[in-house]
């Protein structure tokens, strides 16, 4: 037996395991009810896996419903998967240093120059605390839970 064939036979299982550690996958379903968001992914045609933990950056969580993810097999185990959601198309144009959180319903755009833009396809509500004062910008005008004062320091 030649050396390449011997190496292929010996290293084949390791190569398959390493190759399967990172894969692009389709997110099919999301269960947002538990403290740890889980979903169902399809890594290859017909290879559907459920109960996969969806990992978000700290302070961010979304229920994207479906889309593309990067599936990671932790420790090389196909039974211990996590999914990292990939960027989505759409949203506002971003300059260097800008950050945006968006959905089909609107967006919050934090600009590098300090401006904050908020756009909603419905009403936009700003609220202080759980039951605090609020201001609502709607199609028919601006409403507030208290009288609005013009002028003075913020």
pLDDT digits 0-9 by tens, 79-90: 888 999 887 677
Over the stretch 111-140, which tens digit does the pLDDT of each residue have? 999 988 888 888 888 888 777 888 888 888
What is d(CA 39, CA 27) in angstroms, rounded to the nearest whole number? Answer: 7
**50-57 long-range contacts, CB within 8 A, separation 24+:** 52/81, 52/82, 52/83, 53/81, 53/82, 53/83, 54/27, 54/30, 54/82, 54/83, 54/85, 55/82, 55/83, 55/84, 56/85
CB count in 10 Å sphere of residue 98: 15
pLDDT score for 62 = 84
Res 154: pLDDT? 61
Q: What is the mean pLDDT of each run of 10 residues along the chain (154 residues)?
A: 84 76 89 86 87 87 85 83 82 86 86 89 81 84 86 70
């Amino acid at each position: 037996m030649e050396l390449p064939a011997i190496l292929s036979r010996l290293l084949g299982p390791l190569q398959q395991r390493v190759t399967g550690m990172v894969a692009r996958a389709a997110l099919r379903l999301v269960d947002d009810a538990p403290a740890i968001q889980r979903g169902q992914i399809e890594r290859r045609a017909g290879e559907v896996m459920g109960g996969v933990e969806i990992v978000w950056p700290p302070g961010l969580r979304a229920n994207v419903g479906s889309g593309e993810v990067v599936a990671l097999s932790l420790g090389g185990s196909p039974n211990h998967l996590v999914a990292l959601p990939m960027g989505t198309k759409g949203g506002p144009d971003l300059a260097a240093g800008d950050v945006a959180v968006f959905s089909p319903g609107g967006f919050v755009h934090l600009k590098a120059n300090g401006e904050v833009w908020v756009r909603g396809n419905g009403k936009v509500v700003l609220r202080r605390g759980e039951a605090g004062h609020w201001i609502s910008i709607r199609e028919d005008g601006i409403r507030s839970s208290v009288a609005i004062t013009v002028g003075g320091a913020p």
